[in-house]
Amino acid sequence: MSDKLSSPADLLKATTSRRKFLRTGTFAALAAGVACKSEEARAAANPQTPSGQTGGTMGPHDTSVGASALSSADAMDAMHEKAMKAFPAKTAVHGNQLLKPRIVDNVKVFELTTKKIQWETEPGKFVEAWAYNDQVPGPQIRVREGDRVRVILHNQLPESTAVHFHGLELPNAMDGVTFITQPPVKPGQSFTYEFTVPNAGSHMYHSHHNSAKQVGLGLLGAFIVEPKAKGQHDDPDIDEVLILNDGAHGYTFNGKSFPATVPIVAKLGQKLRIRFMNEGMMIHPMHLHGMHMTVIAKDGWPLSAPWKCDTLNVAPGERWDVIVNCNNPGTWAFHCHILPHAESEHGMFGMVTALVVQK
Amino acid sequence: MSDKLSSPADLLKATTSRRKFLRTGTFAALAAGVACKSEEARAAANPQTPSGQTGGTMGPHDTSVGASALSSADAMDAMHEKAMKAFPAKTAVHGNQLLKPRIVDNVKVFELTTKKIQWETEPGKFVEAWAYNDQVPGPQIRVREGDRVRVILHNQLPESTAVHFHGLELPNAMDGVTFITQPPVKPGQSFTYEFTVPNAGSHMYHSHHNSAKQVGLGLLGAFIVEPKAKGQHDDPDIDEVLILNDGAHGYTFNGKSFPATVPIVAKLGQKLRIRFMNEGMMIHPMHLHGMHMTVIAKDGWPLSAPWKCDTLNVAPGERWDVIVNCNNPGTWAFHCHILPHAESEHGMFGMVTALVVQK
Amino acid sequence: MSDKLSSPADLLKATTSRRKFLRTGTFAALAAGVACKSEEARAAANPQTPSGQTGGTMGPHDTSVGASALSSADAMDAMHEKAMKAFPAKTAVHGNQLLKPRIVDNVKVFELTTKKIQWETEPGKFVEAWAYNDQVPGPQIRVREGDRVRVILHNQLPESTAVHFHGLELPNAMDGVTFITQPPVKPGQSFTYEFTVPNAGSHMYHSHHNSAKQVGLGLLGAFIVEPKAKGQHDDPDIDEVLILNDGAHGYTFNGKSFPATVPIVAKLGQKLRIRFMNEGMMIHPMHLHGMHMTVIAKDGWPLSAPWKCDTLNVAPGERWDVIVNCNNPGTWAFHCHILPHAESEHGMFGMVTALVVQK
């Protein structure tokens, strides 16, 4: 479960590697603390020191190359380096924060308030967002199969809205589709959904009224249902949600664009579960460097024949759960492999983050 | 098998729920007859009547919301409601009508005539179509593995054409690719294909000459081959073909855009098979609300390890067969999850239909 | 393994069907030698000779069709025929040539030199390419699991670059991501990667610096790793790599657009393995006519539950391995099923090739 938005007090006493990493604050520091313990990485990072047969070695320079080619390459590289060194960049607020329910008569009560806000996707870049509880993605709802749940929606938007629980097999009246299962919830109104959670898995909630606009502007979040009977993969060391989006806010992971995306930090040997969710309009084939992913569930349903990959195509509305055995130390690029979603002449941007495996 | 285009006489004496539903003619009537039997749905449909703990409840109104926001929300909601209430809207002719063969010397003979027509994709919206037998999609051909089949093509288009049987493993001369396996069939000419049906499954037929244009304009249809030896899923209660398209005719299911798309109507407990086919240029991740789909075949080939999902990504040229156990009563949205293919500020349109599960 | 770029001497003494086919040089010759042995194909190819019940038959002409429709159809058909007859068209140089390593102290040493070149994608159409060893795709690297490999990169481009080994689970310092695992390799510099090959399968190498541009311009190639312990599918009769691309060079297979794409030629009964790799920005659902494909591996990882299809959706960064049992004689279209990637009003172009199964 994500812990990245615990209280400051929590953060101060925290000892997990993730928290430590977030405090160090720059990719460079990260690399210094992790990857550069490796002989090979040191050699690569310092071209003046050939490393022999075991690592990357920068060779001698061909002096026939013109000075102008070199200086234009230097200028481009400086931009790329600047983008990379800014990672992970700080922004004011993160989305997908775990939402603690109130417990009322054995019912887990969640309140969601929709509002128009300014959202910082990367340092200094603010976009108009329509948000649940002032976050994009909205807060993470996490419950257990069989739980009784109440979700109270307060609509403070200038448009009507409604909440669809994408993937949950609810009674029809709770399905959140305006003019099919309920009237629209007008500006200023509230609406209460209540149900017993029917099926486990990685699900989502989002607007189902004027949805191309409303979901595009941020009315979306993760709805995770833990199974009653735990399976083989239900107690990973790290459990991450990665919501892909490509709407009005640009190319984002959990509402942030590189370098403001948040790296996943694991210790060597840990078991990582990633829950991919696509809330955008395009496919995003997610490529992890250095280790493969074992695909274990589709839309919350376990696969009887899991399969391995390093590039997983995630289409709009889909959820895919994967396991990564973090057995390869270092800082690994992790990005959409539609390259124009991840890199431009100015360096990496958009759908890029990293998996850091610390020795 | 689809029965929606039986003769009027058939329709009058019909007793199946599907036919009844189609006669009722509006989504509102449908909802009244089905979903509103549920206490929860009634509560949701009438915001003045709080329903206690069991259903959706509209809360009191926050009077601080400005009148102008509310009136603009009302105006948008009225458009959305109008679109929804129009469903299922009547249009003159439907495609994918089952084509009965003539039997000649133990050969099933099908005749396909290509022609330029005007096609009504939604009420009052006519587009130019190039059609087989005046329908988009063309008539459904449904045969059995091992059948001897003759397809006689009559070309009344201003361009040459040819028919490719997409997915059938035919002798090369029957493959329908101009200048590889046959000459083009000129305007005014006819051409006869004949073969023994080699492999079962959900297949398609379409033009393979100037195909980007000709298939885009409607020269396509379903070619279903029932297996010799019936499998577990070959006698579902309902067997539907859903051809996705996104060409010159807009975003369509079986040649129609919402609200002129046709809902699938099932009785509680029935087993539904859906055969998705993509004849367009884009992926369409199909999302079913309320129940999951079990994926049982790809391109007509049974999967040894079926898997479950609620959102199935269908790429151009692909066919996917799924089973839905209709165990959740109500009217369920069923749409492409690339939201701009399904909803605009004016309400739902394009790639939207419903699965109605009647108690 | 591709043998299409053996020496001319080799070609002269060659007896394989592939080489013979390449010498015949035109699709028409191919069809004459192969498909037309079949009675059905002969009938189809010659509309004046009705073939009875066993093949395609052109019927009598409807004289009511206007002469102008017919002459405009003839004009379009002539363009389509011309495109088809040009296949397989000769172009100066092919990519994906097998790169023989030098063996130095038991290490397989490969040298890759990046350079800006003019690349012929179809006869007479030259585009600017950024190439490894003057080829697009770059030369095929083919090694064995556990091999010690050294790749020396010489950068003669006007930009910095670096090589990422996509799919290989290398030590971090060998991962080729500038400013994460190594500094950029400047114009005129060289850089040495060295590693023990960790995992088998169909992988790729490509630039990971300014990659949207550099990979788009051609800095990509296949990196095939044969497994230590051979599996059921590791000794096919034919082993092909098909790299899909859609960047600045148009829609290409292995760097060539139809009619300059290279057909795959098999003898009846042979076992063909195809390794699809997508280095572009779009999905490409690859459709094979006449025979199905059995999908056996994803991103180099064998599937525990292989599945069959005739249309395989390949997303950017993905690799899929399939087996085709070449049991259906003839010349079979093989193309991307996003039809605008394969055919225009001027005939087939772009992502089209053929599988020729010779009796």
pLDDT in tens, B159-182: 999 999 999 999 999 999 999 999
C338 to chain A, any CB pair closer than 8 A? The answer is: no
Chain B residues lying within 8 Å of C339, measured CB to CB: 211-212, 215-216, 281, 316
* Strand ranges across the sheet with C141-144: C141-144, C220-226, C201-207, C163-166
Residue range C320-324: mean pLDDT, rounded = 98
User: Could you please report the per-residue DSSP string of A133-175?
Assistant: TTBSSPPBEEEETT-EEEEEEEE-SSS-B-EEEET----GGGS
Decide if B82 contacts B256 (C-beta within 8 A): no
Two tokens at C219? 């800095």
Decide if C168 contacts C198 (C-beta within 8 A): yes
pLDDT in tens, A211-237: 999 999 999 999 999 999 999 999 999
Output the pLDDT for position B67.
Answer: 81
Residue range A195-199: mean pLDDT, rounded = 98
pLDDT in tens, A296-332: 999 999 999 999 999 999 999 999 999 999 999 999 9
Decide if C151 contacts C112 (C-beta within 8 A): yes
Q: What is the CA angle A200-A204-A208, rounded to 5?
A: 130
On the question of pLDDT at C139 being above 60, the answer is yes
Q: Rg of chain C over CA atoms, in angstroms?
A: 22
A93 to chain C, any CB pair closer than 8 A? The answer is: no
- State what percent of residues in chain C have pLDDT above 70: 84
The type of residue at A38 is S
Mean pLDDT of chain A: 87
A328 to chain B, any CB pair closer than 8 A? The answer is: no
C35 versus A334: the higher-pLDDT residue is A334
On the question of pLDDT at B184 being above 70, the answer is yes
ipTM confidence score: 0.87
Q: How far is C-alpha A281 from the chain's CA centre?
A: 17
CB pairs under 8 A between A and C: 196
Output the pLDDT for position B63.
Answer: 66
pLDDT band at residue A268 under the 50/70/90 scheme: very high
A217 to chain B, any CB pair closer than 8 A? The answer is: no
C111 to chain A, any CB pair closer than 8 A? The answer is: no
C80 to chain B, any CB pair closer than 8 A? The answer is: yes
Residue range A104-110: mean pLDDT, rounded = 98
CA distance C216 to chain B (A): 21
Output the pLDDT for position C70.
Answer: 87
With an 8 Å Cβ cutoff, are A342 and C315 in contact? no
pLDDT in tens, C282-307: 999 999 999 999 999 999 999 999 99
Residue range B284-303: mean pLDDT, rounded = 98
- Residue of B114, B154, B186 to mutate for C, most C C-beta atoms under 10 A: B186
pLDDT band at residue A70 under the 50/70/90 scheme: confident
What CA–CA distance (Å, rounded) separates B167 from B220?
13
Q: Among B150, B216, B301, whose Cβ lies nearest the Cβ of C308? A: B301
Residues 6-45 of A with CB under 8 A from C: 27, 31, 35, 38-45
Backbone phi, then psi, for C187, in 5-degree steps?
-55, 130
Residues 6+ apart with CB under 8 A from C165: C174, C175, C176, C193, C203, C204, C205, C223
Output the pLDDT for position B275.
Answer: 98
Output the pLDDT for position C49.
Answer: 34
The type of residue at B101 is P
On the question of pLDDT at A51 being above 60, the answer is no
Output the pLDDT for position A29.
Answer: 47
Decide if B133 contacts B216 (C-beta within 8 A): no
> Subunits that touch chain B (at least 3 Cβ pairs < 8 angstroms)?
A, C
With an 8 Å Cβ cutoff, are C158 and A27 in contact? no
Alpha helices in chain A (DSSP H): 8-13, 17-24, 27-33, 39-45, 67-85, 211-216
Output the pLDDT for position A20.
Answer: 39
CA distance C325 to chain B (A): 12
B174 to chain C, any CB pair closer than 8 A? The answer is: yes
With an 8 Å Cβ cutoff, are B172 and C329 in contact? yes
On the question of pLDDT at A40 being above 60, the answer is no
Chain A residue at shortest CA distance from B354 = A180
Burial A19-28 (b: 16+ CB within 10 A, else e): bebbeeebbe
A248 to chain B, any CB pair closer than 8 A? The answer is: no
C219 to chain A, any CB pair closer than 8 A? The answer is: no
- State what percent of residues in chain B have pLDDT above 70: 84
On the question of pLDDT at A17 being above 50, the answer is no
Chain C residues lying within 8 Å of A35, measured CB to CB: 172-173, 180-181
Chain B residue at shortest CA distance from A184 = B77
Tell me the pairing of strands B220-226 and B201-207.
antiparallel
pLDDT in tens, C172-203: 999 999 999 999 999 999 999 999 999 999 99
State chain A's maximal CA–CA distance in angstroms: 79
Output the pLDDT for position B66.
Answer: 76
Whether residue B88 is preceded by a cis peptide bond, meaning omega within 30 degrees of 0, is yes
The type of residue at B89 is A
Tell me the pairing of strands A284-288 and A330-336.
antiparallel
CB pairs under 8 A between B and C: 196
Least confident of B15-19, B69-73, B185-189, C333-337: B15-19
Tokens 């009560």 correspond to what residue? A109
In this structure, the dihedral spanned by the alpha carbons of residues C255, C259, C264 and C268, taken in order and rounded to 10 degrees, is 170
Decide if B178 contacts B191 (C-beta within 8 A): no
Residues 291-320 of A with CB under 8 A from B: 298-301, 303-305, 313, 315-319
A80 to chain C, any CB pair closer than 8 A? The answer is: yes
Beta bridge partners of C131: C115
Output the pLDDT for position B347.
Answer: 97
Output the pLDDT for position B325.
Answer: 98
Residue range B11-26: mean pLDDT, rounded = 36
Decide if C170 contacts C195 (C-beta within 8 A): yes
Tell me the pairing of strands B107-122 and B125-132.
antiparallel
A343 to chain C, any CB pair closer than 8 A? The answer is: yes
Output the pLDDT for position A63.
Answer: 66
CA distance A342 to chain C (A): 8
pLDDT band at residue A61 under the 50/70/90 scheme: confident
Give the three-state DSSP class for A183.
Answer: coil
Chain C residues lying within 8 Å of B168, measured CB to CB: none
Q: What is the CA angle C178-C179-C184, rounded to 5?
A: 45
| Spatial CA neighbour of A207 closest among A178, A170, A167 | A178
With an 8 Å Cβ cutoff, are B81 and A179 in contact? yes
* Phi-psi label, residue B164: left if phi above 0, alpha if psi -120 to 50, beta otherwise: beta
**DSSP letter at B187?**
T
| Spatial CA neighbour of C204 closest among C121, C266, C142, C272 | C142
CA distance B19 to chain C (A): 35
With an 8 Å Cβ cutoff, are B40 and A213 in contact? no
B321 to chain C, any CB pair closer than 8 A? The answer is: no
Output the pLDDT for position C65.
Answer: 72
Q: Among A191, A194, A212, whose Cβ lies nearest the Cβ of B339? A: A212
**Sign of the torsion formed by the C-alpha atoms of A125, A128, A130 and A133:** positive
